[in-house]
């Protein structure tokens, strides 16, 4: 990239010199024109303001011409050579600064700026990245996603297919189209090329799409009073008509002919309520039909332990899920199901509260050591401690027996959906948020990004395991957690354990971290072995988090507290990949757009390296020959974000042609169903499927 930038800069140095010379010549030309005007004025008027005679005008003209031709004349100011050189230096310095800014944005920010971009292009790109709408004439206002829109905007409906877009590809020069009425606002992105979309009378109303298409465009001479979404181009008003100039298309990788990658959509968290009843089945059916209309492959749904087995051990209620699965089956969609053995409501993006089963909470009140515990004795009720995986403390059953009974009940209840191939994958929850990790960063206990988190090993069952490991090593005094590892929001250099050359790399540190991480692997190994037994013949998967902050430090502190023994001198993901391979389980890694975050300032301050983490985990997975699936970690509705996801799901430079096996979009929300957002999503699905798309 740097070599290319040098070529671009070098290729244009001569052009810059010519432009600087032109700037100086233009200033001299202006001075000359001012002098000519002064001559004309003196010719027209005499000294007393009276029009002179013809002979007198000739004398004045002759004198002024002599004055102009004289070096000391004042009518035409001759610019000194030194002043011209100073002007060139100032212009050269300004252009050099602009070139460095543009080079940095292209290299590190993935901004698509033209070679001869100026400061206006830079400001516009940054404003669009921040979520603002910037029109070609410079008009700027907040996008709809920021809760503000220009007057005259109306709520957007939903179109069922991209046929409601102008089927013309934008040529290199701007196209002119005419529409009437005020142009409403939706989010505009630098890489979006939008056509004219037809409004629909109501969201999700597919039956009226044909009518909307005929009435939403101007072409029959009739009056158009409905507001239209924003069209990415310049707008001028002539006789109450908008003249719309579409911008030329931006370079974009063509995914036509690439491997077919199925796309699933995660359903809302609260689609099934605490009584295991399907919430708003009619509305959900409409949404599923909309997803089916754009060839989405299926949906993903959480099956919550706290809902199904809420009131008593081994009393399962699957009613709401059965009705949902039947709807999905009738629409010929696929299902990805998550066995969610954690609570919902304490993490980012949780909009509902689903606790663990009531009978488990009752046990926890009398025996709080069934939950993860930090050094201060604070309990985390998000999921059960791995210390009780083999302890019969849940009314005569161990934790893994409880998980197995739940999974076996699900398999029996929905046997026909497995037999018909409707359920394509079962993701097994292995910890908080369903991820294989310790709950080391709980916001409710004071963690704030980019804190390193705390070790979660202080319940009596995990301490018992630690004492046993220390005794086997011959060092009983090692049966303790680190006392210099800081607190939840500490930074590595503030602690004696995680700092450079800290205790994490000493004899005790290596012993403790090896035991701590091995307990995580053992938990995943045990639960997945039972899942493989319960779902024999079906694809199972485990989810790993992307803990990328402090990755550029030697200790990788945030990963260590989460259970990943991955300092700079050790690969902590190889053993996890080997464990997944042992059970034929797929890896779900929420990394599809992590590399896109490299330029964020907060990640730089946290010494984060999302790209390094992504490739380390993927290499470990592919070396172990396990299937990789993915989902987005952050909300995405724009073309730039979708393109980045596509680049990661289908790597263009992979020598073995490897790619992800499926992608799950998080999640189905009203914002996704807004017209422009949904049209971008439909386009994204087509590219995931390897279909050709129009570059509008």
Active site residues per annotation: 435, 631
Structure-token pair, residue 257: 């002919």
- First CA to last CA across the chain, in angstroms? 27
Place of tokens 């938990």: 523
Structure-token pair, residue 310: 């809420």
Write the DSSP assignment of 440-502 as a string of letters: ---GGGT--TT--------SHHHHHHHHHHHHHHT-GGG-S--SSS--TT--GGGSTTTSTT-
Q: Are 236 and 243 in contact (CB under 8 A)?
A: yes
Q: Are 383 and 393 in contact (CB under 8 A)?
A: no
d(C-alpha 98, C-alpha 116), whole Å? 10
Structure-token pair, residue 287: 């949404």
Taking CA 180 as the corner, what is the angle to CA 179 and CA 185, rounded to the nearest 5 degrees? 85
Q: Are 309 and 278 in contact (CB under 8 A)?
A: no
Q: Are 456 and 438 in contact (CB under 8 A)?
A: yes
Three-state DSSP class for residue 620: helix
Question: Which candidate, 323, 179, 314, places its Cα nearest to that of 245?
Answer: 179
Please report which helix (H) or strand (E) contains residue 141, including its range.
strand 140-142
Taking CA 424 as the corner, what is the angle to CA 421 and CA 428, rounded to the nearest 5 degrees? 135
If one counts every other C-beta atom within 10 angstroms of the C-beta of residue 430, the result is 26
d(C-alpha 631, C-alpha 590), whole Å? 5
Q: Where are the alpha helices (DSSP H) in 301-432?
A: 305-308, 319-330, 358-366, 399-413, 415-419
Place of tokens 């409501």: 345
Q: Are 131 and 143 in contact (CB under 8 A)?
A: yes
Write the DSSP assignment of 188-202 as a string of letters: --TT---------SS
């Amino acid at each position: 990239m740097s070599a290319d930038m040098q070529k671009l800069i070098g290729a244009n140095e001569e052009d810059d010199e010519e432009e600087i010379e032109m700037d100086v010549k233009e200033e001299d030309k202006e001075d000359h024109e001012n002098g000519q005007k002064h001559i004309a004025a003196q010719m027209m008027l005499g000294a007393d303001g009276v029009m002179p005679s013809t002979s007198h005008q000739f004398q004045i003209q002759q004198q002024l011409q002599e004055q102009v031709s004289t070096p000391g004349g004042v009518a035409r100011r001759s610019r000194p050579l030194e002043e011209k050189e100073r002007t060139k230096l100032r212009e050269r310095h300004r252009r050099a600064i602009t070139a460095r800014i543009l080079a940095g944005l292209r290299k590190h920010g993935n901004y698509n700026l033209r070679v001869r971009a100026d400061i206006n292009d830079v400001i516009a790109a940054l404003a669009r990245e921040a979520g603002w709408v910037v029109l070609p004439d410079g008009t700027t206002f907040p996008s709809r996603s920021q809760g503000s829109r220009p007057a005259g905007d109306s709520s957007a409906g939903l179109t069922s297919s991209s046929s409601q877009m102008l089927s013309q590809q934008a040529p290199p020069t701007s196209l002119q189209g005419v529409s009437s009425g005020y142009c409403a606002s939706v989010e505009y992105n630098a890489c979006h090329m939008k056509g004219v979309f037809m409004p629909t009378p109501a969201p999700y109303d597919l039956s009226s799409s044909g009518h909307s298409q005929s009435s939403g465009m101007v072409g029959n001479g009739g009056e158009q009073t409905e507001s239209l979404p924003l069209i990415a181009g310049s707008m001028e008003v002539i006789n109450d008509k908008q003249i719309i100039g579409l911008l030329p298309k931006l370079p974009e990788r063509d995914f036509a002919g690439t491997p077919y990658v199925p796309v699933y959509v995660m359903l809302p968290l609260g689609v099934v309520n605490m009584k295991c009843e399907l919430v708003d089945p009619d509305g959900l059916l409409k949404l599923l039909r909309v997803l089916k209309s754009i060839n989405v492959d299926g949906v993903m749904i959480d099956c919550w332990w706290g809902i199904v087995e809420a009131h008593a051990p081994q009393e399962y209620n699957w009613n709401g899920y059965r009705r949902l699965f039947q709807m999905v089956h009738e629409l010929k969609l696929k299902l990805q199901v998550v066995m969610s053995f954690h609570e919902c409501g304490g993490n980012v993006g949780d909009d509902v509260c689903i606790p663990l089963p009531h009978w488990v909470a009752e046990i926890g009140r009398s025996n709080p050591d069934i939950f993860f515990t930090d050094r201060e004795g604070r309990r985390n009720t998000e999921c059960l401690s791995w210390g009780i995986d083999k302890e019969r403390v849940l009314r005569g059953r161990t934790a893994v027996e409880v998980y197995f009974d739940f999974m076996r009940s699900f398999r029996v209840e929905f046997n026909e959906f497995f037999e018909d191939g409707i359920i394509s994958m079962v993701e097994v929850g292995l910890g908080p948020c369903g991820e294989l990790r310790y709950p080391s960063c709980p916001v409710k206990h004071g963690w704030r990004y980019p804190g390193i988190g705390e070790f979660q090993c202080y319940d009596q069952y995990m301490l018992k395991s630690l004492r046993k490991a220390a005794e086997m090593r011959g060092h009983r005094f090692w049966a303790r957690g680190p006392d210099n590892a800081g607190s939840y929001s500490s930074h590595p250099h503030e602690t004696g354990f995680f700092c450079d050359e800290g205790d994490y790399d000493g004899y005790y540190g290596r012993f403790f971290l090896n035991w701590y991480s091995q307990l995580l692997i053992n938990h995943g190994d045990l639960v997945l072995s039972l899942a493989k037994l319960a779902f024999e013949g079906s694809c199972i998967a485990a989810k790993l988090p992307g803990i990328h902050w402090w990755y550029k430090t030697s200790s990788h502190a945030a990963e260590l507290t989460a259970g990943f023994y991955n300092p700079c001198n050790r690969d902590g993901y190889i053993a996890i990949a080997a464990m997944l391979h042992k059970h034929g389980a797929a890896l779900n890694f929420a990394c599809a757009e992590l590399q896109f975050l490299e330029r964020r300032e907060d990640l730089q301050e946290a010494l984060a390296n999302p790209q390094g983490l992504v490739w380390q985990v993927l290499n470990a997975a592919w070396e172990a020959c396990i299937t990789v699936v993915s989902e987005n970690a952050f909300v995405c509705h724009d073309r730039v974000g979708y393109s980045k996801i596509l680049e990661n799901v289908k790597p263009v430079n992979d020598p073995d042609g490897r790619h992800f096996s499926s992608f799950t979009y998080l999640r189905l929300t009203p914002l996704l169903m807004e017209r422009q957002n949904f049209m971008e999503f439909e386009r994204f699905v087509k590219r995931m499927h390897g279909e050709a798309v129009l570059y509008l």
